[in-house]
Structure 1
Amino acid sequence: MNRLLLLATGGTIAGCADDSATLNDYTAGVLGGDALLAAVPQLQDLATITVEQVANVDSADLLFEHWRALVARIRDAFAADPELVGMVITHGTNTLEETAWLLQLLIDDPRPVVLVGAMRPATALSADGPLNLLQAVQVALSPVARGYGVLVVMDGQIHGAQRVTKAATQGVGAFASPGSGPLGRVDDFGVHLPMASGSWQVPFAGLALPEQWPQVPIVYGSVEPEPLLLTACLNARVPGLVFTGTGAGQLSAAERSALQAWSGKRPLMLRANRCGSGPVQSHSDDERLGLLSAGSLNPQKARVLLLLCLLAEVDRGGLSARLLKLEPVN
C-alpha cells in the first residue's frame, strides 16, 4: 500500500468539549494524532499511515519553534523515503493559512503536503474533522495533487497555500481563497483537481531555520491611527514591519509623515490591506518611504514572507524580486 506520514499539531480537530452539543467552549489540542486516525477506520483501506505528534496546541499558541520542528521533519522525511507518497498535517484553523504559506515557501518537493483542520471539536455532533481528514488523505494520495506544493483541504474544497484564508469565525465552510476560489474539490467520487500547470519555484528551499527569529509586527490602519504604535516599532529597531492599510493598502498622512521623519534605518516594510481581498498596487511614494506593496498577500502572509526574507538576509531589492515571482498563482 502507499505510505503516508501524518504530522499532528493539535487544534480544534483534536479538541474536546464537555458535551456533544457544545461547539464553542472547548479545549483545543487534547487528542493525539493516533486518536484522530482511529476515528476514521476507512483510512486503513487507503494507505499505510504513520503518525507523529509534532505539537498539540491551539494554533493561536503556535510558536516559531513549532514551525522549525515541522519544517525539519518534513524535509527529513521526504529526503529519507523516496517511496513516501505525501504528508498530511492536522492543524488548528486560526493560523493554518500561515503555516501552509510558510511551508509553501520552504518545502521543495513535488509530493503533496496537505494541511487540514476542523471548525467543530472532535466531541461535537456532526464533527467535521473526521471527514476533513479522510478527504485530506485522499488528496495527499492523488497523483494530480503532485506539483501544487502545499494544499489545504477543508469542507470538500482544495485550496492553494498562497490565497487560502479563514474567512469566518464559525461554520464548516469557513475557508476561502479570495480572488481565485478553490483549486478543486474532493468527494466520494474522488479528487477533482486539474494537473498542476507548472513547477513552483521555492524561494527559500535551502534556508536553515534558526532558534531565534526576528520580530515583525503588523500595524493596522484605522481612522486617526495611534502614532505611538508606529513610533514604538521604529524606536525598537524592528527589522520588519507590515502595514494593514485601509482601502488598497493606504497609509494615513500621519503614518507617512512618521516614516519620512524617521532618521534611522528603516525596517523592511510591506503594505497589505484590511479589505480581505484584492491586490495592493505600487505607489509613487513607496520608494521614498521604503515601502513595498504586498500584492495579493494578506497581512499575516506578508509577515511570513518578511520573516523568511529577514532570516535569509534579503534586502528590499531581493524582497521586491520575490514578490514579482508570486504572481500569477496556479
Structure 2
Amino acid sequence: MSKRKVAIIGTGGTIASQGLHPLDVQDYASSGRPILDAEALVAGVPDLARVADVFAVPFTAIPSTAIGWSDWRALVAKILELEAAHPDLAGVVITHGTATLEETAYLLSLTLPTDLPVVVTGAQRPFTGLSSDAQMNLVAAVRVAADPQARGLGVLVVLNDEIHAAREVTKTSTGRLQTFRSPDLGALGHVDADRNSFWRRPTRVLPLEARFDILGVEQPPRVDVLYSVAGGDGVAVHAFLAAGASGIVAAALAPGFLTPAERSAMAEAIAHGCTVVLSSRAGSGRTFPTRRYGEEGFLNADNLNPQKARILLMLGLTRGKDQAAIARLFETA
C-alpha cells in the first residue's frame, strides 16, 4: 500500500536552527550557522519516509518574531498552489518558530478555503541540540497531516506528541518542551506510537464559505493591543488612534475590566469610530459581557487571548465596521 503524500513548507524557526555544538540550546540564533530549509529538514530526518511520502517546498526562512501579513498571504497562496498541483496531496506541514506559531496557525485556519489538513509545528530546542524535540515533532506533524481524521478540523498545531486546535492553543512557557497548551479545553488528541488518537473535534471551525479571502488585501486594518495594568492610563490608546488604528484589543484585567483611565480613553476611541474588543490578560476563560461596557460600545473576545483576538478583529474589519457582525464573529470563529 502506497504512503500518503505530505508537503513540508519550512519557514525557519528553532526547529530549523543549528547551534555550535549539541549543548548550544540557548544562543543558537547567533551561532552563524545557516537555517535549514525544508529540503535539508527532510534530508535530516530520513525516517519521515516510514510514515509518509514527503516532499519539501521552498519558502523563505523568516524569524517568527518578524512574520506578518505578507508572509501569511504567501503561505495561503502556496498551500492553494500545492493543492491544485497535487490532486493526491493528503496534507501540508508548516515548520515555524514558536514565538508566533499560534497566530499563524489561527490566521490560516480563518483564511484557507480548503479542508485539506494543515499542521503547524515547531521546536523548543534547535535541530542540532542534544535531545532536540525538532525531529520527533516533525515526524508527529507529518503523521497527523497524513491522517484522514485530521480533515475538516481546521488548522492543527502538533508538538510534544499533542494535537491542538489552532484557535485554542497558546505558548505557555518560554523554554519547556510542553509549552503549547489549550488552557480551557485541552488537546484534541495525541500522537501515540501505534496511532493518532483523536478524542474530540473543535466546534469553532469556520465553514469554507465564511472564511476570509486575504489574497487581494495588501494591508489589513491596523489593530493594536493595550495591556491593562493597575493604575494604567490612556496614553497608549491615544497613540494607537494617532497611528491610525481601526481597532484596539484590550488585554484587560480579568474577567474583562479596564482601569477608569483606560476605560475613558477606550470610550473616546469608540466615539471616534474605533472598534474595541475586551480580551483578558489571565490566559484562560471568557470575557463576560456586562451591561455597562456593552452600553458604551465595547465588544467581547469570548475566550480568545489578546493576540488571537487581534487576528480575528483585523480580519473582521476587512469586511467593514458593522459592530453587530463583528460581535457575531467573536461568538462563532
TM-score, normalization by structure 1: 0.93
Aligned partners of 1:237 and 1:267 also within 8 Å: no
**What corresponds to 2:23 in structure 1?**
21
- Alignment partner, residue 321 of structure 1: 328
Letter in 2 for 1:11: G
Output the amino acid matched with 1:212: Q
1:171 is matched with which residue? 176
Stretches of structure 2 lacking an aligned partner (at least 5 in a row): none
Residue 306 (structure 2) pairs with residue 304 (structure 1): no
Mapped to 1, the partners of 2:182 and 2:161 lie a distance apart of 14
Deviates more, 1:81-90 or 1:197-206: 197-206
| Structural mapping, 1:104-253, within 5 Å | 104-194=109-199, 196=201, 200-202=206-208, 203-253=210-260
Q: Is 1:55 aligned to 2:57, yes or no?
A: no
Secondary structure of the equivalent of 2:291? coil
Letter of the aligned partner of 2:226 in structure 1? V
Q: Work out whether 1:81 is the aligned partner of 2:86.
A: yes
> Residue 108 of structure 1: CA displacement?
2.8
| Counterpart contact for 2:155–2:165, Cα < 8 Å | yes
Structure 1 residue aligned with 2:108, among 103, 110, 120? 103
SS in 2 for 1:257: helix
User: Which residue of 55, 67, 70 maps to 1:65?
Assistant: 70
Check 1:169–1:83 CA distance in 2 against 1; reply closer, same or farther (3 A cut): same
Aligned equivalent of 2:275: 268
1:97 partner amino acid: E
Q: Which runs of 5+ in 1 are unaligned?
A: none
Higher mean alpha-carbon deviation, 190-199 vs 277-286, is at 190-199
Deviations 1:89-114 (A, max 9, x none): 00000000001100111113222100
User: Which of the numbers 261, 267, 288 marks the counterpart of 1:254?
Assistant: 261
Tell me the residue number matched to 2:9.
7
Change beyond 3 A, Cα 1:47–1:56: same
Q: Give the distance between the partners of 1:90 and 1:33, measured in 2 at CA.
A: 8
266-275 or 194-203: which moved more? 194-203
CA distance in 2, matches of 1:266, 1:314: 8
d(CA) in 2 for partners of 1:235, 1:200 = 33
| Local SS of the residue matching 1:54 | coil
Shift of 1:311: 1.9
What amino acid does structure 1 have at the position aligned with 2:5? R
Please give the per-residue CA displacement for 1:113-153, whole angstroms capped at 9, x wherever unaligned. 00000000111101100000001001111111111111000
Are the counterparts in 1 of residues 167 and 304 from structure 2 also a CA contact under 8 Å?
Answer: yes
Measured on the aligned residues, the alpha-carbon RMSD in Å equals 1.9
With over 3 angstroms needed to count, the CA separation of the structure-2 counterparts of 1:208 and 1:56, relative to structure 1, is closer
Task: Give the number of aligned pairs.
Answer: 326
